[in-house]
Amino acid sequence: MVTVLRKLEPFTDAETGNCVEYEGEPRAENISIKFRGNGNRLVVAADAKIFRLSAVFDCSNGVITIGGNSHGTPFRGTLRVGQDSRIVIGHNVSSTDTVYMSAAEGTTIEIGEDVMFATGNQLRADDGHPIFDVRTGKRVNVSRDITVGNHVWLGYRAMVLGGVTIGDGSVIGCGSVVTRRIPNNVVAVGVPAHVVRRDIAWERPHLTLAKPYYKPDARTVKKSAYWHLTADDGADAPIARPSRTAEPIVRPLRARRRTWRSLVPRRVVRWVRAIRS
């Protein structure tokens, strides 16, 4: 049995135990809540700012929690949970467009406070379908938890995969795919994402929407509580790769001056010389 709600308001199904816990003003625009299974809970803070929400409970005992929002930018999300799984979204989490999150097989996606999503972001604790090793039959893509710290900014189309923890105050660059732990107060970019700058802090004021319209230094913004040095230096240091410039630019003189005589036995050389003479 599938129950679909098109309005965010208190709801309880005595037969299945599925419920919506919400004490704010009822909201019907851009809302879709789908229940399958039993014992699922959607918990939304009364002061949450939600522009679009699609909450999908595919199995049983799933939980989605959305915190309040005290600033103007709302949250937009498509949230999907499976058996015994959770998605927990903290206070003051915003997004420019719809964020997709998926948790299955008892995993948890936890988003801290004051997190800023851009457009096209995805967080996947699971891959949606199982992959097995042909020889052993064991799963090779086991679902794993995701933890995003406080005051983290995910850039355009950045994606976070299972098993990742992102530290407070960090920035994930456009189009990056995060597959490993990222420390606090860093910029991480790439596929897979790696740290390119440490000891950074970022703030929410937009470059074109918030005065002053030039922000050359920290005096132009109000500092948040997340101005810290990167604590676990080296936690995600880029993998050292041999540099081409580290290799000998000029080969040994003997190797460069090789002729056909050096590549054949001496007796053959003597035989050729004898014929020529």
CATH code for the domain in which residue 103 is found: 2.160.10.10
Q: Three-class SS of residue 8? A: strand
End-to-end CA, the chain: 99
* Nearest of 213, 108, 209, 117 to residue 162 by alpha carbon: 108
Tokens of 50: 């939600």
In the chain, the number of structural domains is 1
Q: Which ranges of 207-261 would DSSP assign to H, the alpha helix?
A: 253-256
Tokens of 43: 């918990």
Residue 275 lies in a domain: no
Residue 152 lies in a domain: yes
The amino acid that residue 189 corresponds to is V
Residue 252 lies in a domain: no
The low-confidence residues of the chain, meaning pLDDT below 50, are 237-257
The number of helix segments (H) and strand segments (E) in the chain equals: 2, 22
What's the sign of the alpha-carbon dihedral 107, 141, 99, 200? Answer: positive
The amino acid that residue 147 corresponds to is T
Structural domain span for residue 186: 3-243
| Proportion of the chain in helix, strand, coil states, percent, rounded to 5 | 10, 30, 60
Q: Which helix (H) or strand (E) holds 274?
A: helix 266-276
Q: Does residue 228 have an active-site annotation?
A: no
Residue 93 lies in a domain: yes
Residue 212 lies in a domain: yes
How far is Cα 193 from Cα 236, in angstroms, rounded to an integer?
Answer: 9
Catalytically annotated residue among 129, 151, 194, 206 = 129
Residue 35 lies in a domain: yes
Specify the pLDDT at position 260: 52
Tokens of 144: 């794993």
Residue 267 lies in a domain: no
* Rounded to 5°, angle at Cα 168 from 162 and 170: 80
Which class for 43: exposed (0-12), middle (13-18), buried (19 or more C-beta within 10 A)?
middle
Residue 110 lies in a domain: yes
